[in-house]
Chains A and B, each alone.
Chain A
């Protein structure tokens, strides 16, 4: 069966510090991978998606970036965090054939 991992689970970072969130998927090959942000009381905002190694599509340019160095690894980064980057970050993967999408446990980021 497939499993998706995210770490860290919780992160408190000062404004201006860098960020690296990691997501890995087990039990499947060549998944489509996604990063979402969920602000309190609001819907899911798509940040990035990837259909293959090194292939990243950005929906929200801002100060975030994503990379996919391996087939089942997706990384979300920032060089300098802003207060507005606080939120719940979710990684997801989807099946190619059926489009079912599965989410990881999330990382709660607080920028202080």
Chain B
């Protein structure tokens, strides 16, 4: 079993839709959770960063962490064609390691 599981997609939605992207994980020691957006042939861009459980909102983006279920989500409201990209989740423990564990990414297509 992988430490982090992420549906590869592709996920196609119409412009204006609410998008839900998810990752599940197995390591209960993960404390820091991140979402990245990666356009084709570019480096990943940090979108959202969350420590421990709870929600965090930034503009059209909301990140949720449910540590009891080992499940994290990224919601995109009013999706735009420019949101078409691959979204990667990442997480790490608070101590004892310098490593980040990444999901394989979900490819999102927002159709105009």
Contact = CB atoms under 8 A, between A and B. Distances in A.
A20 B49 CA distance: 32
Nearest to B4: A43
A86 to B, nearest CB: 14
B49 A44 contact: no
Interface in B76-112: 88, 90, 92, 94, 98-100, 102-105
Contacts, number: 50
Contacts of B100: 34, 46, 94, 101
B34 interface: yes
Interface stretch (B12-20, B37-45, B53-61, B62-70): B37-45
B32 interface: yes
Interface residues of B, number: 22
A98 B32 CA distance: 8
Given A32-B98, A46-B99, A49-B98, A99 B43 contact: no
A98 B98 contact: no
Contact of A100 (B49, B99, B104): B49
| Size range of the chain A interface in the assembly | 20 to 34
Given A90-B44, A104-B43, A57 B102 contact: no
A91 to B, nearest CB: 8
A7 interface: no
17 contacts: A34-B100, A44-B44, A44-B88, A44-B102, A46-B99, A49-B98, A51-B98, A59-B99, A90-B43, A94-B98, A98-B49, A100-B34, A100-B49, A101-B34, A101-B90, A103-B45, A108-B41
Given A43-B103, A43-B104, A106-B43, 7 more contacts: A6-B43, A34-B100, A44-B102, A99-B92, A101-B34, A104-B43, A108-B41
